[in-house]
Amino acid sequence: MASINYLWKNRARFPFGSRKFCRAWGKRIFSFPDHLIRSIRRNKLIAKGAVISDTAEIGKLRADGHKSKLTIGDFTFIGKVYIALHEQVEIGSKVCINDGVEILTASHDVSDPGWNHIKKKIVIDDYAWIGTGAMLLPGVHIGRGAVVGARAVVAKSVPAYGIVIGNPATLLPKKRVTDIDYNPCGFLASNQAWLVG
């Protein structure tokens, strides 16, 4: 929700001069520089061809390659993340991608004498949660609501609501709840200052 325009239109309103009004505006003024920085990051990516929702929250994202290969949906939170855009990366809505995550769309074919590139698209469906320091390898599809544990190395697709951990990532017998309804951007204090007060 780093879009200043979105926050302004949807801000919580309080009577002028009231305690809630003063408190909310104090928080908003204090958090404004962070919102501005995230908005500038989003706009730079969009200017280079990325398709990013106005309500997505973009942290210190380093995206190498053609930005036009990146799509990010509504209310998705991306922390300090690295994405290699050799091929398409499609990130759905209300996805949470924590700091230290690496998303790699290319590798080298070890069975090829010429050691040629293998490029494959990565898809992350709505409500997926990618834990701190996880690595997604070329061609994986992370299903709706799936969880990738911290430091997991994912070389195979993860089914909807599946939970994977470890290196290589292993699917646990336990599944995530299926009636998910939350907004990862809404948890940020800087956004709550505008939307809640």
* Alpha-carbon distance values, 80 to 12, 59, 105, 122 (Å): 29, 6, 18, 18
Which tens digit of pLDDT belongs to each residue from 30-68?
888 887 887 888 889 999 999 999 888 888 999 999 999
Task: State residue 2's pLDDT score.
Answer: 56
User: In the predicted model, what is the mean pLDDT of the chain?
Assistant: 91
- On the question of pLDDT at 121 being above 80, the answer is yes
pTM above 0.85, yes or no: yes
Check residue 168 and give its pLDDT.
Answer: 95
Residue 4, pLDDT > 80, answer: no
Looking at domain 51-187, does it have CATH number 2.160.10.10?
yes
- Summarised one tens digit per residue, pLDDT across range 70-101 is 999 999 999 999 999 999 999 999 999 999 99
pLDDT digits (tens, 9 = 90+) for 122-159: 999 999 999 999 999 999 999 999 999 999 999 999 99
- Choose between 163 and 17: higher pLDDT: 163
User: How much is the pLDDT for 3?
Assistant: 67
Contact 63, 43 (CB under 8 A): no
Rounded to an integer, the average pLDDT of 16-41 is 85
Q: DSSP label at 158?
A: B
Mean predicted confidence (pLDDT) in 164-192: 88
Identify the helix (H) or strand (E) that includes residue 82: strand 82-85
How much of the chain exceeds pLDDT 70, in percent?
98
Q: Are 109 and 118 in contact (CB under 8 A)?
A: yes
